[in-house]
Chain A
Amino acid sequence: MVEGGDKIIRVLVAKPGLDGHDRGAKVIARAFRDAGMEVVYTGLHQTPEMITETAVQEDVDVVALSILSGAHMTIFPRVQTLLKEKNAHDILIIGGGIIPEEDMRQLESQGIGKLFGPGTSTGDAVAYIREWMKKRSGS
């Protein structure tokens, strides 16, 4: 617990699939940490099963996926389904990478949280998570 009674936000930053481009994952992980969150970084080459297992074990509030390989339309829904199967309905899934806007909109309409493209300020992602946490604890 920190001042004001706010819970410390726990985030899992994950790198799913075969792609090794981890610049974005590492930058966002540090930015979350600098913003006072507790960050777990999975490292590379994670399957959706591994990611959701870690998310539940680590009791995180947020799963942030970094995908630049074009596999986003397979991986995001898969992580979402697996979290539901584990009754982890209250974990926010967000992501970033090379994702066309149309795909972003479709995924967001399926209940995935916000997806951030190149050029996003890390502050925007931090603010989005804080806002979501406020709503979650308020509801």
Chain B
Amino acid sequence: MSERDDEKLSYGPEDIRGLDYGTDLGDPGRFPFTRGIHEDMYRGRLWTMRQFSGFGSAKDTNERYHFLLDRGQTGLSVAFDMPTIMGRDSDDPLAQGEVGRCGVAIDSVADMEQLFDGIPLAEVSTSMTINGPAGILLAFYIVAAERQGAGWKSVRGTIQNDILKEYIAQKSWLFPPEPSLRIITDILAFCTDKVPQWNTISISGYHIREAGSTAVQELAFTLADGFTYVEAGIAAGLDVDAFAPRLSFFFNAHNNLFEEVAKYRAARRIWARRMRDRYGAKDPRSWTMRFHTQTAGCSLTAQQPEVNIVRTAYQALAAVLGGTQSLHTNSMDETHALPTEKACQIALRTQQILAYESGVPDVVDPLAGSYYIESLTNEMERQAEEYFRRIEEIGGVIEGIEAGFFQKEIADAAYRYQKDIEAERNVVVGVNRFVDPDEKLEIAVLKIDPAVERDQIERLGKSKAKRDADAVQRSLAALAECARGEGNLMPPIVACARVGCTLGEIVDALREVFGTWREPQAL
């Protein structure tokens, strides 16, 4: 699976001939940031330990957040259930059986308030993995914050809001690409002005990799998505330095340790060069790539699940050696169900060992100058540039999506990966080698109470009954009116949130105007 030359036994000076320290690496915290975005890196501040979590009702998840914060977690990360991700209320017929199953169900501001009950939103930073309806969940969040007395200027966090990778990989979109990009540029403009500490897009390679891409594809497609957002922002009349500093990235940490480290280093260098040289950004904060990392869920095995703890630890090491700003470590049991408290705690402890026992954070970019790492970093960059050229030939990212280009590239890579495992060209411990023939599953598995769905629907019904029905209708009509015109969609969405409109109602109002999208079918 590695992108390196498989015949090569060792690397030497000839493999990095032409590498110029000043222009290709630079000191840590200096252009092109290959060595990291901070001069003092983890000596100044450790990465944020941010475990992605959510299940059942807002109340269930709130309890898990308190559990994680009590054990030393330093930021929150919300996992929503499928209906929320797809902009549907819990009582929608299409939500049947899915409420609270793979994340938490959030239907309105009332649920958001319960989710953060007892957690001061002026102090904690929150990442929300939400894309199609990102603007709506952001509106719920800032309204919940103001009801806690936290001003919009004080709230900190991230919405994923990366719709391009939804069309490419994760496949959770609500509207066609063009109106989706409009919503995103509206969010960029709104946050720059009103919620200045909010990270407006987390441009994500994670899902691209999980869908089966190679490391190079993850790198190239993610950065190409990033360029597209920057171009959309500029085309919408925004100053690049006004919004680019709030863009962040999200990468996968897969099994091949050195390849992953090289990927992060190459990503920083490519981004810095493009931002400065092509998009004319002048603010160094626009050049620096900040990123979150999650270990590779798709690398974990259902067989011998305890062994996943070890896989995750090596992957976390790659992320830290690569200079990540925040990290989620997967739990060992996630090939079976959502994680138990015990499994989450071990995952968090894995990061704490790296941070406090291993010595890895003591020195910035400790692998710099290694013939292998530098050569691999160059190679990742070269292959990514090759993809950028192909994407440009197709006409851009949206055209590539419409043509099914990315989807096919990823599906092909996923199938090759599976074939390689089955032919034992790739070893997966416990799956195709070192199999335990008498294995019995001995870990606990989290169960979601089937009553969650019923209770959530009841709660939704009650909160709908308490609303001012006229205000709801007026706000939804105003939103639809705005969608038909060219105004910024965020203020009317916030107005809808304040009077208790539900997620599904807001999405329906927008869908009336924007329509839906079906992807080109390709196997």
- Give the CA-CA distance A71 to B411 in the complex, in Å: 24
- A21 interface contact, C-beta 8 A: yes
B82, B170, B300, B441: which contacts A71 (Cβ < 8 A)?
B82
CB distance from B209 to the nearest CB of A (A): 10
Q: Does B521 contact A (CB under 8 A)?
A: yes
Assuming the A-B contacts A23-B211, A98-B336, A119-B302, are A71 and B101 also in contact, with contact meaning beta carbons closer than 8 angstroms in the complex?
yes
Give how many A-B residue pairs fall within 8 Å (CB-CB).
111
Which residue, of A27, A33, A102, has the highest number of chain B Cβ atoms within 10 A? A27
Pair B336/A100 contact, Cβ less than 8 Å: yes
Q: Which of B102, B418, B441 lies in contact with A69, CB distance below 8 A?
A: B102
A27 to B419, CA, bound (A): 9
Mask, B327-341, CB within 8 Å of A = 1, is 000000011111000
Determine the chain A residues whose CB is within 8 A of the CB of B101 once the complex forms: 69-71
Q: Are B303 and A44 in contact (CB under 8 A)?
A: no
Task: Known A69-B98, A70-B448; judge A23-B336 contact (CB<8 A).
Answer: no
Give chain A interface residues in 11-48, CB to chain B under 8 Å: 17-23, 26-27, 29-31, 33, 39, 41, 43-44, 47
Q: Which residue of B lies closest to A116 (CB)?
A: B302
Q: Say if the beta carbon of A56 comes within 8 Å of chain B.
A: no
Binary A-proximity of B287-298 (CB < 8 A = 1, otherwise 0) = 000000000001
Q: Do A21 and B170 touch across chains, with their CB atoms under 8 A apart?
A: yes
Of the candidate stretches B83-91, B233-241, B507-515, the one touching chain A is B83-91
In the bound assembly, the distance between CA atoms of A125 and B172 in angstroms comes to 28
Nearest-Cβ distance from residue A97 to partner chain B, whole angstroms: 10
Contact A70 B102, beta carbon cutoff 8 Å: yes
Q: Is B356 an interface residue (CB 8 A)?
A: no
Question: Which residues of chain B are near A75, meaning CB under 8 Å?
Answer: 97
Contact yes or no, A20 B422, CB < 8 A: no
Expressed in whole angstroms, the Cα–Cα distance for A100 and B102 within the complex equals 13
Question: Does B352 sit at the interface, judged by CB under 8 A?
Answer: no
Cβ-defined contact, A98 with B523, below 8 A: no
Alpha-carbon distance between A71 and B425 when the two chains are bound, in angstroms: 34
From the candidates A33, A43, A47, A119, name the one contacting B521 in the complex (CB within 8 A): A43
Which residues of B are found within 8 Å of A19, using beta-carbon distances? Answer: 82, 98, 102
Confirm or deny: A106 has a beta carbon within 8 angstroms of a beta carbon on chain B.
Answer: no
Partner of A41, one of B335, B415, B421, B521: B521
- Would A70 and B335 be within 8 Å (CB), given that A18-B85, A119-B303 are in contact? no
State whether A70 and B337 are in contact (beta carbons under 8 Å apart), knowing that A18-B86, A119-B301 are contacts in the complex: yes
A102 to B243, CA, bound (A): 49
- The residue that A117 contacts in the complex, of B86, B172, B335, B338, with Cβ under 8 A, is B335
CB distance B302 to A117 under 8 Å?
yes
CB distance from B418 to the nearest CB of A (A): 5
A18 in contact with B418 (CB, 8 Å) = no
A69: B residues at CB distance < 8 A: 82, 98, 101-102
Contact with A along B32-73 (1 / 0, CB 8 A): 000000000000000000000000000000000000000000
Pick the contact of A17: B98, B300, B301, B430 (CB < 8 A).
Answer: B98
A8 at the interface (CB under 8 A from B): no
Whether A27 contacts B86 in the complex (CB less than 8 A), given A119-B303, A119-B431, A123-B422, comes out as: no
Interface flag for B157 (CB, 8 Å): no
Q: Tell me the bound Cα distance from A105 to B443 in angstroms.
A: 16
A119 touches B335 (CB 8 A): yes
Whether a CB of chain A sits under 8 angstroms from the CB of B150 is: no
A18-B337 contact in complex given A26-B415, A69-B102, A73-B97, C-beta closer than 8 Å = no
> B245 at interface (Cβ–Cβ under 8 A)?
no
- Chain A residues with CB below 8 A from B518, complex form: 43
CB pair A26–B414 under 8 Å, yes or no, is yes
Q: In the assembly, what is the distance between CA of A54 and CA of B447, in Å? A: 32
Is B212 part of the contact surface with A, judged by Cβ < 8 Å? Answer: yes
Task: Give A44 to B86 CA distance when docked, in angstroms.
Answer: 12
Interface membership of A81, Cβ < 8 A: no
Q: Which of B94, B418, B523 contacts A47 (CB 8 A)?
A: B94
- Give the docked Cα–Cα distance between A76 and B337 (Å): 17
Answer whether residue A101 sits at the interface, using C-beta atoms and an 8 A cutoff.
Answer: yes
Q: Is the CB of B88 within 8 A of A26?
A: no
In the complex, the answer to whether B418 meets A27 with C-beta atoms within 8 Å is: yes
A118 touches B (CB below 8 Å):
yes
Q: How far is the CA of A123 from the CA of B424 in the complex (A)?
A: 13
B171 contacts the other chain (CB 8 A): yes
Closest-CB distance, B430 to chain A (whole angstroms): 8
Q: Which residue of A lies closest to B211 (CB)?
A: A23
A139 / chain B contacts, CB cutoff of 8 Å: none
Indicate if the CB atoms of A18 and B95 lie closer than 8 Å.
yes
The distance from the CB of A24 to the nearest CB of chain B, in whole angstroms, is: 9
A17 and B448 CA atoms in complex are apart in Å by 18
Which residues of A from 33 to 86 have beta carbons under 8 Å from B?
Answer: 33, 39, 41, 43-44, 47, 68-71, 73-75
Max chain B Cβ within 10 angstroms of own Cβ: one of A17, A23, A47, A122:
A23
Assuming the contacts A27-B415, A27-B418, A44-B171, asked whether A18 and B98 have C-beta atoms less than 8 A apart, the reply is yes
Interface assignment of A121: CB less than 8 Å from any CB of chain B: yes
Quick check: B98 and A29 within 8 Å, CB to CB? no
Known interface pairs A20-B166, A122-B422; 6 further A-B residue pairs with C-beta atoms within 8 A, sorted by A's residue number: A21-B170, A21-B171, A23-B414, A43-B521, A69-B98, A70-B337
11 contacts between A and B (CB under 8 A): A17-B94, A18-B82, A18-B86, A19-B102, A27-B212, A31-B415, A43-B518, A68-B102, A117-B336, A118-B335, A123-B422
